[in-house]
Amino acid sequence: MNIVKFNESLEKHRTILTEQQYRTLRGLAASGDFDGAVKGYHKLLRRYRRNGNTETRG
């Protein structure tokens, strides 16, 4: 996954992320910690799929 695809995917799932989660992941990717951003993104998506909308969106 490259940064362009990551940003597109992040934008697609923006409705399930809190504003802070969205900003943090974008900031990590922009600052160069792309692997950390992808790992965190997948962790949040797993958590959302397992628990539904109650755990990730405030």
- The residues spanned by each domain of the chain are 3-54
Residue 2 is predicted with a pLDDT of 86
In Å, how far are 2, 4, 11, 51 from 30, measured between CA atoms?
Answer: 12, 11, 14, 29
Under 8 Å between Cβ of 6 and 12: no
Reported pTM: 0.79
Q: How far apart are CA 57 and CA 2, in angstroms?
A: 26
Taking 70 as the pLDDT cut, the residues of the chain under it are 53-58
Per-residue confidence (pLDDT) for residue 46, from 0 to 100:
93
